[in-house]
Amino acid sequence: MKVKIKKYTAVATWRWENSTSDDVCGICRVQFDGTCPNCRFPGDDCPLLNGKCGHSFHLHCVNDWIQTESSRGLCPMCRQKFEFDSGP
Amino acid sequence: MSTFAAKRLQKEMAKIHQGLAPGIFFVNSPNLQHWQMDIQVLDSNPLYAGKTFRLNFRFSNNYPIEAPEVTFIRAPDREIPMHPHIYSNGIICLDLLSSGNGWSPVQSVESVCMSIQSMLTGNTKNERPEGDEAFVLREGRSVRDIRFVYDDPTV
């Protein structure tokens, strides 16, 4: 029997590497796979930033923090200097 | 109120309705920027046993990047707890509540309540901060404008 595919609908899911779907950004408390409160579309427009200390946040959230003088450039979680981990 | 602060506070509110740590209770929030919480000390510390204290939270547009203003308030059956870092007008000297010192945006209403709870739990001194009377007389300025000196790591 030969089947001819006339039409199909593809569905895919995604998540950021090194995160589970339950993980939330400690600053905004939204899932990593969702957006920071100021963005509308998840994904590359609202990426994660992984710190060398092992803590991750939405880029936009941790940026708001790091830009304040009172942050002194420290990770909100562990208070080590927050440095961007560019990966292996 | 900014979208960011409002969304974050709504998240916290939703979580509060699922339950809070022991000895911490949500009282009310006339609006999203203003919450009241009750706390109790759970061990048998004679200074606080059997008493409940009320905390007033005010959030700025910049919450949680900026710390909330948190003070104790008087209400029927709610006094200001005696503590060497709590003024008789309810102002709390705690580095965690100060942007630029101990505040971090991963803190929350619940975690602040827990920190204040443990600040009371560990206290044995039935006294007010030095200079309390003069400090309270100068009241009226914003809590945010007060520069505390955090010189006592033991309390």
Tell me which H or E stretch contains A56: strand A56-58
Outline where DSSP puts E strands in chain B.
Answer: 24-31, 34-39, 53-58, 69-73
Is B50 inside a domain boundary?
yes
Provide the token pair at B81. 């707890």
Total count of domains within chain A: 1
Residue from the list A26, A68, A72 with its beta carbon closest to the beta carbon of B65: A68
Q: Please state, in angstroms and as integers, the Cα–Cα distance from residue B83 to each residue in B15, B116, B123, following that order.
A: 30, 11, 7
What amino acid is encoded at B126 in this protein?
A: N
The HSE-up count of residue B101 (CA atoms within 13 Å, CB side) is 13
Total count of domains within chain B: 1
Structure-model confidence comparison of residues B143 and A59, the more confident one: A59
Predicted pLDDT of residue B135: 86
Q: Are B105 and A70 a contacting pair at CB < 8 A? A: no
Distance between CA atoms of B23 and B27, rounded to whole angstroms?
12
Is B154 inside a domain boundary?
no
pLDDT in tens, B127-148: 999 999 888 887 665 565 566 6
pLDDT in tens, B10-36: 999 999 999 999 999 999 999 999 999
The yes-or-no verdict on residue B153 having pLDDT over 80 is no
Is B39 inside a domain boundary?
yes
Q: Range of B9's domain? A: 3-138
Q: Range of A25's domain? A: 1-88
* Catalytic pick among B67, B70, B93, B120: B93
Q: Are B65 and A29 a contacting pair at CB < 8 A? A: no
Q: Are B100 and A70 a contacting pair at CB < 8 A? A: yes
Distance between CA atoms of A41 and A35, rounded to whole angstroms?
6
Mean pLDDT within A71-79: 93
Q: How confident is the model at residue B3 (pLDDT cuts 50, 70, 90)?
A: confident
Radius of gyration in angstroms for the set of CA atoms belonging to chain B, rounded to a whole number = 15
pTM of whole model > 0.90? no
ipTM surpassing 0.90: no
Do residues B49 and B37 lie in contact, with contact meaning Cβ atoms separated by under 8 Å? no
Q: How many separate helices (H) and strands (E) can be counted in chain B?
A: 3, 4
Distance between CA atoms of A57 and A29, rounded to whole angstroms?
10
User: What rounded mean pLDDT belongs to chain B?
Assistant: 90
Is B83 inside a domain boundary?
yes
CATH number of the structural domain spanning residue B121: 3.10.110.10
CATH number of the structural domain spanning residue A61: 3.30.40.10
